[in-house]
Structure 1
Amino acid sequence: MLLRKEAPPTPDEYDWTATLPVPDEQIVSIPWTNGTNLTSNPYHWLLSPEEINITTEDVDTMKDYFIGVQLGSEQDLWRGDVVNFTLYVFETSCVYFDEELHLWQSDGCEVGLMSNSSHIHCRCYHLTKFSGFVAPNPLNIAEALSANVLENPAGLFLVLTVFGAYLVGIVWARKSDRRDVVKAGIGILPGHRLNPRQDCQYLITVYTGFKGNAGTTAEVTIVLYSQDHESCPFRLSDEKRILFERGSVDSFLVSTSQPLGALRFVRVWHNNGGYSPGWFLSQIVVTNRGDNTPNFFICNRWFALDRDDGQISRVLIEADPDEMKKFRNLFLAKSSRDMSDGHLWFSVAGRPARSPFTRVQRLSCCLTLLYSTMVTNIMFFGRGDEFDPPEPIRIGGIEMDPPISLPQ
């Protein structure tokens, strides 16, 4: 076998050469299941990426590689018979995951002689996570643009429909982002005069839950209590924004005539007003601006006449470290935060007002992810259809089809 770049090979001029079949001592065989052995094909010629060294320029200019076949025996050369042979080319690679760089690397791994068009044989001198690479279908953008879309309009219709929905969503997302700018601020209660002493000022942050209909239209009031003092009732309101919506975080700056000292508990209630008075309160954080020490008051209960215990007024004791580490409280806080801010799709609607990652940006990322998935499906469409289906795995009477094809 002769291989040459940019010109047909000759017995004297070639870039790579190999003699097939390979000698018996180079054939690899390993034991497999059911007493069988896996043996390398003596007619396989493997070229490593370092040997063939295909550059970006080679790909961009679509350089040609010519393969020549020469009979190795002088007797075969003069027989004059027609020799039929089948030639196929496949691309494969073995890589491992570098946990320090968080990248897939190929050093220390090479493709084994038992690799073929349906299976990958990897040989690595280090033990780590490794993976095989299946070459994707080539994407010809120029050919796709010149194709007659009327012959198959479904793909174009789907792409345009998704993009149209994106444009409609952008309008809504932009309006919501503008409302969030107002929500992210700290509200001053109407008619409330702040005490200039910082040790008398308290930042009250109210977290409304993410359950269905968790927001309230009622007026919420809170009283702060320490060991020996209590504040006046603060009616939490703001003329510039809508408060206590589902998943919202609302902050208010209030003050007292004298320092209260270390807070012990708070009393919270609402007037059950409006068309949807029910309210699910997640927690309240009160921070004294004198020492910036936060006090956590965990609730995770309903303030509604028709839910939970029917109460619309509750006393919340300051949470100690053990209570804050309880599984239920950690689970509710983590799950609500991940769904509202961490999950790309759900956070488009539930994005926290104070997050720098806007709804428009999140929606644009969703569109990019969706289109990238479409392109990836095109690249790998049909790859593996010619492989034999794997045997189902039976566990406890349940059959599962593995996502990979194992050699029989």
Structure 2
Amino acid sequence: MQSRKKRTTNFEKNEQATTTAFEAIDNLALTMITRKNRDEKPTLLETNEFLMSLGRSSCDTPGGRLIQTRTDTGAYFKIPENAAAKLCVDGSVGSQTYFTPRNPFEYSPNAGDVRTPVLGLSVLGDRQKVPVSDLDEDERIEYINPVTTENTIMVEGTATLSNSGQITVHNFNTTAPGVAFFIRVVPQNSADVNVTFMAYLKRGSEVSPNDYSHNATLRRAGDTADVTGEPSARPFAWFLSQAAVNISDEQETWTIGIQHLPTVDENGRTSESGVNYTISITASRCLFFSEMSKLWTDSGCEVGPETTHERLHCICDHLTAFAGFAAPNPLDLGKAFTFDLDRSLIAIATVCVVLALYMVAVSIGRRLDIQDERKRQKRAYRHLSRSATPGKRLLSWHLWASVVKPPVNHFSRVQRISCCLSLLMSFMLVNIMFYRGDRNFVPKPVTVGDTELELPFSWDTFIIGLESSLIALPINVLIVVLFRYAGARPDASAGVTSSRPGRTERHGFIQKGRHGVDIALPRYLPTVEGAGSRYGTDYTANQTLHVNRLRTERSKFDSDWA
């Protein structure tokens, strides 16, 4: 409760400070604009994170006007000629423009939606601001706002031929309603710059050349979109307006499929190989700050067709403080797959080799298990009960090492080999979930003093290894435990029911051996009937019969000796 109260107090202080600062800035601007002559060079006021430009231009200047604070910001306003006539006051247009890379209205409840710099434009009259709103369509004011691209995520893929019946598919999720899409599909190889991509888009998790809602042809000279998209002068680019995609929910799943048309080389031969590309999808929305509701909203503004992954183009029918929601791919580009065998050849070959080695190992392991069982049967009559050495304990608990020489128990080699295969395949499957082409795992060097150290692994790979272990190990440990502690299978040929589990009595006859160690008869002993040899092949789980036989033989031996 105290932290919430403290946060509310901080927001109130931020609002008060911001309001006071802008009131002082506006008063300064209204004072300075009266001293400006028409068509005089704009006056620039600059602080660390705030730029303001004041200018006055003649109303009789033909054409539209381009107003900005400074050229290197990349932000500017474009006022059409029809709107300039409405903005005239006493034969001139006074303007106040500001630019700040940080959001000054952080006290707004939805301030987190702002992901671009904030810029504003006001028309100044005689000691007051001139309100501008409800402009007609041909009078609307446009502005360009730069978008940072340092966090842009690129996803790689391979486009198949349009006549192959295959398609590479990417799924992504939107994170806000009312956004527009800017899609780029750029070939990775410079030799493929003349390739023509076919893009198919649809809401949902599936798309195909026969089932889509939007499609476009993307080429080096720009795209040729269908009636629901806007043509773009950018190569291999596709812009879809807010009205075209019509996203009303915050979370929606969309799917885009990529193919390429057949290409002809210099010798006139048609290439049938896949084309590697990089795709990025930017979701954009234009926002302005409402001083009445203290919220960022997009009412009266729409995303313009000049929007790219580097800048946001907005068209509005009013003036205020503007910003934008431009997500340079915070979209969940979850998967990229195709049925092209060439891309999956290494993975398929790896799985096939692993399965082949598994079959060979199972064949050898089964043969060794049978040999071990025969050796145990021959040693059953004089089995020594000795404590296991540390080395044997380690061999028993190490899954991979125990395959070569397992300890004497019912956890066979075949079962251990199967557990090893399960462990290997589980880790391969889990790693597929994390290692995709849209992530960079190159380790970053660490600087210690004046020395730059190259790490053998990146922090991302360490985290992925830890996550993979937490996902794959529990289920495999459970499998191993089930095999290790499962009861031995009863011998059906003995015809006698084995001892019940849980009994604590010894299953054998104990006496001192020749070397001072206890000789313990095993649980499975030679039967009395038909046991002509000391190492008979028929066994029973009933030790009472065998003990009685030994006592009888001992009494006969004592009477003969006497």
TM-score (norm 2): 0.25
Of Structure 1 and Structure 2, the greater helix share is in 2
* TM-score normalised by length of structure 1: 0.32
